[in-house]
Structure 1
Amino acid sequence: MARGTPSLEDRPTSKKVGALRALLPFVLPYRGQVLIALLALALTSAISLVLPLAVRRVVDNFDDGAGLLNEYFGAALAIVALLAVGTAARYFFVTRLGERVVADIRKAVFARVVTLSPAFFERVMTGEILSRITTDTTLIQSVIGSSLSIALRNMLILAGGLAMLALTSVKLMALVLLIVPSILVPIIVLGRRLRRLSRANQDRIAASSGAASETLLAAQTVQAYTHEARSIEQFDAATEQSFDVALTRIKTRALMTAIVIFLIFAGVIGVLWMGARDVRTGAMTAGQLVQFVIYAILVATSSGALSEIWGELQRAAGATERLGELLAAEDNLTDPANPVLLPRPVQGRIVLEGVSFHYPTRPDTSALEGISLTIHPGETVALVGPSGAGKTTVIQLVQRFWDPATGRVTLDGIDLRDMRRDDFRQAMALVPQDPVIFAASAADNIRLGRPDATDADVQAAARAAHADAFIQALPMGYATPLGERGVMLSGGQRQRIAIARAILRDAPVLLLDEATSALDAESEALVQAAVAQLSEDRTTIVIAHRLATVKKADRIVVLEHGRIVAEGTHDALVAEGGLYARLARMQFTDNALPLVDEDAEPPSGLAAN
């Protein structure tokens, strides 16, 4: 996360319903629908307030003749029909608005999160983000598509009902007003506790989702180490914690509902008792008492509904704020306001000038320290060294997934920080050590390198990467879905898909992060030939795992503890001795084998980063 930006784990706990104002930017584009829904809502509320007047007319004029009575009942039926139409219109437009707004929020959150730099994902679990996009948006949909309109309707009925109560009987209305404060007190006091519990409950759900996502994505590893029982136990514990918090919230809300309902109806009974006495003394008519009773019931039910909805609004407010945190998450990497465009054609000259870097989660450990390196256009440079030497970090800095703490990284003489990331990254192709395969077809996975590529282009790239044969053998050939994370493929096949993707991209800068580490000897020989052809006339940075790759590089840079300790050709470095010669010698089963013999069998691999 950017400096000064709280992570999702550190977010504050006090939440207010006013946080729902953050939804306004998503609602305003549909102001027409909102207006129609509000008109329908006002109409239904007004009709609900008119019905008691009709009932009073019927009761007080019951003996005035059948004709007048029929007119009253006919008018009541028309009012009910209008109420039905208005309610249906309100439901349609409000529910449609809720679904539309939530869809827009989900798209906005995903669009924001997917562009954030790796620093963000070092602090926030992917499962938690998915929980925000699903669970929290569902709460918001419920509020916009139902609760909010119901709350507004009940507020109108409450206000109108109180006014009509006053018009019916000021004396009884005064008694009702004495009841209101006793109802508001538990709503306010217990409502605050509900806010805290609702937020804690949603945080527990997010933590549970994060744990489940992490375990399921590594299901084979979990099963291989017979860790299923422990994983189930951990997920059960997280789920039970969520349930315990939810149960406390439910008990609190049930207590609040019981108190509020009792106070409301106890007050109504008391008011009715006083009204019945007034009817007996002739201070009011039976129709007025019936009218007052109906208005009192409307006011009571509206108050009870508002107490219920208040809890929903509080939960939605917490959800809105958490989604707002994702939307407002500041990235420690930003594109300049006035970016410099990378000149085309791209030459591919990469320079690291005095670069030092620390990962945010390991501020006391230097990943790179004072690195200065120039890679010339068309040159193939191999990075070797023990694990943790900083090889992968160099590639990540070249792609600007991180910014150096000191120094700068340039492409064709332009600081990466002066360009848009999507501009200069188009000039790069990456084959990572652990290639990502999506749950799409083989063709679509390769087409990630160039989305507008034709089927012929895709197949040509696959042939160049020696992936065509095994793809053709799949049940549906290039149209075969490869499963989540490429579960249908072997490690070597996944890497050849990634290499085909890079070949299709046809970028002037090629980044190979141990691209052949999972290949067998035969596949490696084939892919090495493809990589050698692909590297021609391109600036290539290779994190070396196989000695065959190292020996073919124009220059080898040896890294140790984040520093460059040697560089040169294979033969020169072997002759020089030191770290590189020691690493190279370790790849031979017989240390007496000549290290510079070009006819020697390629060894099994260098230490990887």
Structure 2
Amino acid sequence: MTSGRDLMRWVWRGYLSRHKGKVLAAVFLMSLEGAMLGLLSWLIQPMFDRVFVAGDRGAVVWVSAAVAGVFLIRALSGFGHRVLMAVVGRNVAAHLQRDLVGHMLRLDSAFFHTHAPGLLIERIRGDTVVASTVWKTVFGAAGRDLVSLLSLLAVALSVDWLWTLIAVAGAPLLMAPMAWLQRQVRRTTSTARTAAADLATRLDETFHGIDTIKLAGIEAHDHARFSGALDRFVNAEIRTEAGQAAIPALIDVVAAIGFFGVLTYGGYEIIAGEKSVGQFMSFFTAIALVFEPLRRIGNVSGAWQVAAASLERLHAVSLERPTILSPDAPEPVPAGGDVVFEGVHFAYGSDPVLNGLTFTARAGETTAIVGPSGAGKSTVFALIARLIEPQAGRIAIGGTGVDRMELSALRGALSVVRQETALFDDSLRDNILLGRDVPQAKLEAALADAHVTEFAAALPQGLDSPAGTRGTNLSGGQRQRVAIARALLRDTPILLLDEATSALDAQSETQVQAALDRLARGRTTLVIAHRLATIRNADRILVMDRGRVIEEGRHDELLARGGAYARLYRLQFSDQDS
């Protein structure tokens, strides 16, 4: 667990110090507002003794004006510091969110495999907001409430030091239970934030899997899963709120003890004529008002523990570091060349995927990779792009190890079309260009080659039509054509095609395959294929099984051998014939 001091130092240096001027101005205005409580309680004595009891007409105007002035200053200073702290809080939240997303985008893909989307969304949205709003409470306690407390105690002491001692005699009783409550609040808050992340994950799964839920008829089951996550979140929130509420409740218990002692002892002194009514009312007002800032100061500890739980989670993410990095002195990516795997081993945890994989995909040729599910085909693409790292072996392009290349340059040399195309909730045009500035003629040629033009023209806004969340406004085949258009526009020396035409109908598949064949000329192309008919013309076919190549050759050669490829081919086409 990171200490509160370290968390505060991290936030101050990284975020709050940028707004130091506004924070100092807000603390000054808070202090001014807090001092007005002491002045108000001091004015109670002349109000009673000189105006109400003695009937001094000359004192009426200045006492009334002074009281009005107190409330006017409180109004202006209160408005000022609230606006300033709102500006600081919102900006700190925005900076935290911006930095957190930027940092996460630099982390390895493995980080996102072990952290659910709902958990990350909750950290970016929920934790940053909680962490940024606590400073209004913290600085309010340091400025307004502390000054209020000191000024009110000063007034009380000026009336009678013994009365003041009696009023606060129960305060030491708070120390042990408040320390215990603070630990409880931080613990339950951490549980609540985890439960909130689980809740967000459940909602994400529900809304993105709505068709599966409906087709399987599991609405009640999914609702029960959500209800269970919601119950855990609510229970954790209630425990946190209860812990926070207990802190000011303890202060009220001490206030009750103090008021009982003061009213009893002071009442006898007033009856005996040793103190005036104005003195008692001034003291009573000061002590009555003392417990309000004291209660807020007590709330600070609970609010800080809530924020500390969120800050700790944010800080933990900020400490995550990518393990796949560019070398200190990167070598240039060759404009062309063979893609070579030499004795590559890779495992996800304890599950081996590649076992000494060795092959060469020659420059300018199309190399197809086939094999049963789980053979390691998709892992090959992830390793080439350095989304993951092998545990052993070497991967090279044009004789240069991919681990010796600058990451962005390596990935900039690759065009990838996956079986499942990732689209964003932007226009069709934005999904194809992905932020690049492309000449209109080149864009139109890519759209035509990928057969996007024919369906885009039928959309209400053409290329400017929204693709929908995850491309839901498009069919599977349309989404794949968008991905192919992206690859055509990138015009890179290496193509990685993972079932690039799997979602197309027979006519579109023939047309798009022709476009891909044109694109592949003179480039190093690797194709993962399940439908063997699409790779008949490949220059080399690699048959993988259990993480290694067991056969390689051209289509006709492999069929003639009667081995694993021939069996796959017969099985596939016998299924189609039946």
Structure 1 CA distance for aligned equivalents of residues 24 and 65 of structure 2: 31
What secondary structure does 1:371 align onto? strand
Q: Partner of 1:531 in structure 2?
A: 516
Deviation string for 1:323-358 (max 9, x for gaps)? 11122223332333x241525x72243222221100
Query: Within the alignment, does 1:174 sit opposite 2:159 as a pair?
Result: no
Query: Within the alignment, does 1:113 sit opposite 2:99 as a pair?
Result: no
1:141 equivalent among 121, 132, 151: 132
Q: Partner of 2:431 in structure 1?
A: 445
Structure 1 CA distance for aligned equivalents of residues 539 and 100 of structure 2: 45
Q: 2:243 touches 2:302 (CA, 8 Å); kept in 1?
A: no
Query: Within the alignment, does 1:19 sit opposite 2:7 as a pair?
Result: yes
Structure 1 CA distance for aligned equivalents of residues 82 and 439 of structure 2: 47
Q: Partner of 1:151 in structure 2?
A: 141
The amino acid that maps onto 1:192 is R
Q: Partner of 2:482 in structure 1?
A: 497
What secondary structure does 1:42 align onto? helix
The amino acid that maps onto 1:322 is R
> 1:443: Cα distance to partner?
0.6
Q: 2:493 touches 2:524 (CA, 8 Å); kept in 1?
A: yes
Deviation string for 1:546-573 (max 9, x for gaps)? 3243222221111110011121211222
Shifted more, 263-272 versus 31-40: the winner is 263-272
Q: Partner of 2:388 in structure 1?
A: 402
Query: Within the alignment, does 1:82 sit opposite 2:82 as a pair?
Result: no
Shifted more, 439-448 versus 203-212: the winner is 203-212
Q: Partner of 2:357 in structure 1?
A: 371
The amino acid that maps onto 1:31 is K
What secondary structure does 2:536 align onto? helix
Q: In the superposition, relative to structure 1, how do residues 366 and 307 fare at CA in structure 2: closer, same or farther (>3 Å)?
A: same
User: How well do the aligned residues superpose, as a CA RMSD in angstroms?
Assistant: 2.2
Structure 2 CA distance for aligned equivalents of residues 558 and 132 of structure 1: 44
What secondary structure does 1:589 align onto? helix
The amino acid that maps onto 1:391 is K
Q: 1:399 touches 1:425 (CA, 8 Å); kept in 2?
A: yes
> 1:454: Cα distance to partner?
4.4
Q: In the superposition, relative to structure 1, how do residues 380 and 459 fare at CA in structure 2: closer, same or farther (>3 Å)?
A: same
Q: 2:366 touches 2:526 (CA, 8 Å); kept in 1?
A: yes
For these two proteins, the number of residue pairs brought into alignment is 573
Q: 1:265 touches 1:300 (CA, 8 Å); kept in 2?
A: no
Q: Partner of 1:420 in structure 2?
A: 406
The amino acid that maps onto 2:394 is R
Shifted more, 494-503 versus 283-292: the winner is 283-292
Deviation string for 1:285-314 (max 9, x for gaps)? 433322222221222111222233332221
Shifted more, 374-383 versus 23-32: the winner is 374-383
What secondary structure does 1:367 align onto? strand
What secondary structure does 2:394 align onto? strand
Structure 2 CA distance for aligned equivalents of residues 549 and 430 of structure 1: 17
Q: Partner of 1:386 in structure 2?
A: 372
Q: Partner of 1:222 in structure 2?
A: 213
Q: Partner of 1:579 in structure 2?
A: 564
Query: Within the alignment, does 1:436 sit opposite 2:422 as a pair?
Result: yes
Alignment gaps of 5+ in structure 1? 1-11, 591-602, 605-609
Shifted more, 14-23 versus 571-580: the winner is 14-23
1:127-276 → structure 2 map (5 Å cutoff):
127-144=118-135, 146-152=136-142, 153-276=144-267
The amino acid that maps onto 1:159 is L
What secondary structure does 1:407 align onto? strand
Deviation string for 1:433-463 (max 9, x for gaps)? 1111111111111112x62224544333211
Structure 2 CA distance for aligned equivalents of residues 211 and 419 of structure 1: 39
Deviation string for 1:132-153 (max 9, x for gaps)? 1122222223313x32233222
1:539-558 → structure 2 map (5 Å cutoff):
539-558=524-543
Q: Partner of 1:340 in structure 2?
A: 330
Structure 2 CA distance for aligned equivalents of residues 415 and 64 of structure 1: 96
Q: In the superposition, relative to structure 1, how do residues 370 and 135 fare at CA in structure 2: closer, same or farther (>3 Å)?
A: same
> 1:99: Cα distance to partner?
0.4
The amino acid that maps onto 1:151 is A
Alignment gaps of 5+ in structure 2? none
Taking structure 1 as the reference length, the TM-score comes to 0.89
Q: 1:186 touches 1:260 (CA, 8 Å); kept in 2?
A: no
> 1:237: Cα distance to partner?
1.1
> 1:232: Cα distance to partner?
0.6
Q: Partner of 1:597 in structure 2?
A: none
What secondary structure does 1:178 align onto? coil
Q: 2:167 touches 2:257 (CA, 8 Å); kept in 1?
A: no
Q: In the superposition, relative to structure 1, how do residues 334 and 78 fare at CA in structure 2: closer, same or farther (>3 Å)?
A: same
Q: 1:17 touches 1:314 (CA, 8 Å); kept in 2?
A: no
Q: Partner of 1:39 in structure 2?
A: 28
2:47 equivalent among 54, 58, 63: 58
Structure 2 CA distance for aligned equivalents of residues 370 and 163 of structure 1: 80
Q: Identity of paired residues, percent?
A: 34
> 1:282: Cα distance to partner?
4.2
The amino acid that maps onto 1:233 is A
Structure 1 CA distance for aligned equivalents of residues 326 and 269 of structure 2: 76
What secondary structure does 2:573 align onto? coil
Structure 1 CA distance for aligned equivalents of residues 496 and 384 of structure 2: 9
Deviation string for 1:513-540 (max 9, x for gaps)? 1111111111110110011011112111
Shifted more, 287-296 versus 493-502: the winner is 287-296
